[in-house]
């Protein structure tokens, strides 16, 4: 079974500053994918960034980057130059490498960007 743990229920950051959201996971799979999804107050989940477990290089998408530590089963999200529009719930999610591409989610971190 896969579990995803987000230990920070809430975080805040000043506009233009950098914030890091933590995520750990547990799995016996060797091939898998990890994702960060954003859920703004409008409630639609939006993909932020994804990481293939077989890639050593950390994924980056503009202001968003991850620190993927496979041995430690850690997958943190760094948001640089935080903007007011980054205010949302952030969910870390795990997908097995084979079979149904179903997602297993953590409990989320509520991020507030303060003007």
Among 1, 71, 72, 100, binds other proteins (CB under 8 A): 100
Q: Select from 16-24, 64-72, 80-88, 106-114 the region that touches other proteins (CB under 8 A).
A: 106-114
**Position 30 contacts other proteins (CB under 8 A):** no
| E strand spans, the chain | 3-5, 10-14, 19-21, 24-26, 32-39, 46-52, 60-61, 64-69, 74-79, 88-96, 103-105, 109-114
What region does 63 belong to: left with phi over 0, alpha with psi -120 to 50, or beta? alpha
- Residue selected from 25, 32, 106, 113 as contacting other proteins according to rule CB under 8 A: 106
User: Site residues (CB under 8 A) for other proteins?
Assistant: 4, 33, 35, 37, 42-47, 50, 52, 91, 93, 95, 98-108
């Amino acid at each position: 079974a896969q579990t995803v743990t987000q230990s920070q229920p809430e975080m805040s950051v000043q506009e233009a500053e950098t914030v890091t959201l933590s995520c750990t996971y547990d799995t016996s799979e060797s091939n898998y994918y990890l994702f960060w999804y954003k859920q703004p107050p409008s409630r639609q989940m939006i993909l932020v960034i994804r990481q293939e477990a077989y890639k050593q290089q950390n994924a980056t998408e503009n202001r968003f980057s991850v620190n993927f530590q496979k041995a430690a089963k850690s997958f943190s999200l760094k948001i640089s130059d935080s903007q007011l529009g980054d205010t949302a719930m952030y969910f870390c999610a795990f997908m097995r490498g084979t079979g149904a591409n179903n997602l297993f989610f953590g409990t989320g971190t509520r991020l507030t960007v303060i003007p």
